[in-house]
Structure 1
Amino acid sequence: MKLCAVVYKYWRQIIKPNVLALVAGVLSCGAALAQTNVQLYGSVDEGLDYVNNAGGQSLKAVNAGKRSPDRFGFRGTEDLGGGLNAFFKLETGFNSDLGNQANPNKFFNRYAQVGLSSTRFGTLTLGHMPDFAYDYVGVLNNSVPGISWSYSPGNLDNLANIFGMDNAIRYETPVMAGLQVGVMNGFGEDPSNFSRSRTYSVGFRYNNAALKLAGSYSMFHNRTADLKSIFGVTNVLGQSLAGAQFNADRFSTGVLGASYQVGIFVPHATITQVQLENARGEVIQRNLQAGVNTDLSGGRKTRILGLSTAHSTFEAITYNQYNAFLSQYLSPTVQIYCGAAYVHASGPGARATAFGYTPSSGRTQTLTRAGVQVQF
């Protein structure tokens, strides 16, 4: 309740006046100064993986998008004058190893948005987009610029962009003394029940060059989670998971992250909590990740070594993971890299699992990868 009161106060005193001013600015601007800029952009990442235990067997495979998701998109801006811009962004994910869509049910599964941005009043965006956990905190995680297996088991905290908000409207303040705050709401669009399938998120980020801080809180109503595949559980809060996903009445995430650059070293940490609720009670996943990225090129940022560790719990199951990677940038948009990870799980029925890979049949799992990523 205290959080809701703080958000409402901020909305009434700061956000609402700025949104109204932004709309007023749109209505008063002319079209004579319009200048349009449209870009095609994206990333292709391929690599060779070795997993010592994937469902009981060793696995050698060429996999896509494990350093950074394969994607392409279109983004554009139009200068409307007076510090006001219109913009759009359309982005879809794909798998370059198979040539198919990452999500066959949504073509622009990562972003499909349009909005207005003012240097004075902030930014208003509408469409399909991730919450602030990804947009604000995700960059501070072990997986950036590492390998995606460093995300927490199942990525339930959404530090990787795999679950976006539909029918969303989002407002972000201008950056003030390094601080930016955002709020967003995704409408469930059920006329009989306003809360059904509704989502909302609040977040902040702060950057003063050396220090970066970010945090967010997100709530999803009536969201499912594949807890059986991730954790190997068969019954959660009275729901049988035989052939079915867990349906949470309320699915909330709270995340915090920070990094601080000290010369060639960038230590970083994120802490997240995921809470799934239904009428029978709640289950909680907690994740703590920390590491350090070292610029071996002496400040040029062309050779990065990353070492990190992670500790996660879900009910009585515990996961400890240790990661290492080395990236060599051949140009600002091309890198070759390699990495390794070791996962140990403990608790009743526990089996080791790394995000994006088949769980082990036992309590440990070792993964290695070497690949190349090209951005455009």
Structure 2
Amino acid sequence: MIKSQILVCALGALACAGAYAQTTNQTSVVMYGSIDDGLDYVSNAHGAHLWAVNAGKRSPDRIGFRGTEDLGGGLSAFFKLETGFNSDAGTQANPTKLFNRYATVGLTSNTLGTLTLGRMPDFAYDYVGPLNNSIPGISWAYSPGNLDNLANVYGIDNAVRYETPVVDGLQVGVMNGFGEDPSNFSRSRQYSAGFRYSGSQSRLAGSYSMFHNRTADLKSVFGVTSVLGQNLSNSVFNADRYSTIVLGGSYQIGIFIPHATFTQVSFENNRGEEEQRNLQAGVNVDLSGGQKRRFLGVSAAHSTFMDMKYNQLNLFVSQHLSLYTLFTQVYAGASYVRASGKGAVAGAFGYTPSSGQSQALLRTGVQVQF
């Protein structure tokens, strides 16, 4: 109840700010979001066929507010608040955080760059995320468990982030999330660095992130019961150090955009290290001849963890319905996952795992952005 009242007050305050923004050219406040619902078919969900209405599989359901104020001399202040929800059930995506996706404030300068403080994802999502198989596409194309953070489901709290101005298409960023433990500076500390480059036809991006004392639900994702001597009876693996290396690129050739990403996730404790490696590649085709209204996406992925291997094929088609905007689209997709190795069970990201080594998925849906 208290959380709901806080949200209502926040919405009211932001609405007033939006009204004020119409009276001045120096300040702007924008409300935005996305609602996505669709019908899914899963060939094997714990051994049975499954039909379900699921939200946010094309793009996460979310609502947000962002604003800027021109301070003069090329300096501006800004804020961004964004929260996720599930339109199929009317629930919050994260019941413990009001603004689970972004809660930031900062300053940006045309010559000095951008300083941001608050809660935000690492550079794997912001810089490399737009280059993976799920863009455009369906979230099942993310790597098993999304342990590399290419989807924005894990944010860094208490963060300070600096990004350079864009120079000849290149931007570099660094960030640190303070663990805020007075007895141990490194405990729960998180930091990340990344770069992105955008040219006339090519895009490149990369990031490195380190998370101290982070958990990973390896049991649910891979079906393992023990990793590095740690019993996973409670599902999660407690990593002393959890790191990601993420690289991606794309190149536009007419209406074709081939793309690829490589990610490596490392889990460490005092017994050693285990790694997950993921390779994704595909091609997006603008069937509308450059108008970005009709897309076809074909992609494949290969992942490894311990002695297990996962191969996945994805097909995606979408059509924007709005005459003058890109706000509303209908889409359909299909995916097939095949797992191999001792104990390996197929399971696409965000869906109930199979009881065996294969799983097929179908989805058709509609997304409205505002």
- The alignment's TM-score, normalised by the length of structure 1, stands at 0.91
Q: Tell me what 2:355 maps to.
A: 361
Is 1:343 the counterpart of 2:334? The answer is no
Contact 2:320 2:327 in 1 (8 A): yes
Superposed, 1:1-376 pairs within 5 Å as 35-331=26-322, 332-376=326-370
Contact 1:296 1:304 in 2 (8 A): yes
Equivalent AA in structure 1 for residue 176 of structure 2: N
Contact 2:310 2:338 in 1 (8 A): yes
Contact 1:129 1:168 in 2 (8 A): yes
What per-residue deviation string (whole Å, max 9, x for no partner) do you get for residues 17-76 of structure 1?
Answer: xxxxxxxxxxxxxxxx98211011000000000000011111000000000000001100
Distance 1:98 1:353 in 2: 23
Kindly state the Cα deviation for residue 243 of structure 1 after the two structures are TM-superposed.
2.2
Equivalent AA in structure 1 for residue 203 of structure 2: K
Gaps of 5+ in 2: 1-23
Distance 1:62 1:42 in 2: 20
Cα root mean square deviation, aligned? 0.8
Distance 1:223 1:44 in 2: 30
- Secondary structure of 1:139's match? helix
Distance 1:292 1:188 in 2: 40
Distance 1:333 1:250 in 2: 41
- Secondary structure of 2:205's match? strand
Distance 2:46 2:72 in 1: 58
- Residue correspondences, number: 344
Contact 2:314 2:335 in 1 (8 A): yes
Equivalent AA in structure 2 for residue 240 of structure 1: N
Equivalent AA in structure 2 for residue 339 of structure 1: G
Distance 1:170 1:137 in 2: 17
- Secondary structure of 2:184's match? coil
Distance 1:356 1:198 in 2: 27
What per-residue deviation string (whole Å, max 9, x for no partner) do you get for residues 269-294 of structure 1?
Answer: 00000000000001100000000000
Contact 1:53 1:366 in 2 (8 A): yes
Distance 1:80 1:130 in 2: 27
Kindly state the Cα deviation for residue 209 of structure 1 after the two structures are TM-superposed.
2.2
- Secondary structure of 1:137's match? helix
Contact 1:52 1:366 in 2 (8 A): yes
Equivalent AA in structure 1 for residue 284 of structure 2: N
Contact 1:165 1:186 in 2 (8 A): yes
Identity %: 74
Contact 1:283 1:315 in 2 (8 A): yes
Distance 1:64 1:265 in 2: 29
Distance 1:266 1:127 in 2: 34
Q: Name the stretch that deviates more: 44-53 or 293-302.
A: 293-302
Distance 2:263 2:130 in 1: 14
Q: Tell me what 1:7 maps to.
A: none
- Secondary structure of 2:356's match? coil
Distance 1:186 1:34 in 2: 34
What per-residue deviation string (whole Å, max 9, x for no partner) do you get for residues 270-327 of structure 1?
Answer: 0000000000001100000000000111111111000000000001000000000000
- Secondary structure of 2:321's match? strand
Contact 1:34 1:81 in 2 (8 A): no
What per-residue deviation string (whole Å, max 9, x for no partner) do you get for residues 307-349 of structure 1?
Answer: 0000000010000000000000112111000000000000001
Distance 1:77 1:108 in 2: 19
Distance 1:321 1:92 in 2: 30
- Secondary structure of 1:67's match? coil
